[in-house]
Amino acid sequence: MAETRASAINLINISAEISSHKSKSPLLAGLFSAVIPGSGKFYAGRKGEAISAFLSTAGTGLVTWENYRKNGLNDYRTIAFGAIFALSYLANIYGSAFSVTVSENDFKEHVKTEVLFNMHIPLDSFFNK
């Protein structure tokens, strides 16, 4: 009886966790990162990745600008660093949207696992089919 009561309390807590969860939009994360590189990852809750994305994108942008200022637009170094910057910028936008998608999927999987565990359904039965 005590075990059933504990499971019921856990299910109520899971319900409260679902109610308080604020879903995040991959599109919004991508837009944030398009404006300020790394801000979409910050929105996704990945602060370390956000700082890394900002520093790498800003660093390659500054190197590109410096080469352009010193050597002009047609210099191979300006073109190479500009291409690296563009790839870094686009990858940052995609990575931010992907981070939100992964975070939302992880939350849903966590909830599903917790509900199954508290309902005392053996997880083995789902994986051994």
What's the pTM value of the predicted model, to 2 decimals?
0.76
What distance in Å separates the CA atoms of residue 103 and residue 41, rounded to the nearest whole number? 11
Structure tokens at 56: 């790498």
Apex CA 58: angle with CA 95 and CA 100, to 5°?
20
What distance in Å separates the CA atoms of residue 94 and residue 112, rounded to the nearest whole number? 27
**For 2-25, what is each residue's pLDDT tens digit?**
666 777 787 888 888 888 888 999
Structure tokens at 107: 């939350």
**For 76-128, what is each residue's pLDDT tens digit?**
999 999 999 999 999 999 999 999 999 999 989 988 888 877 776 555 556 66
Per domain, the residue ranges of the chain are: 2-127
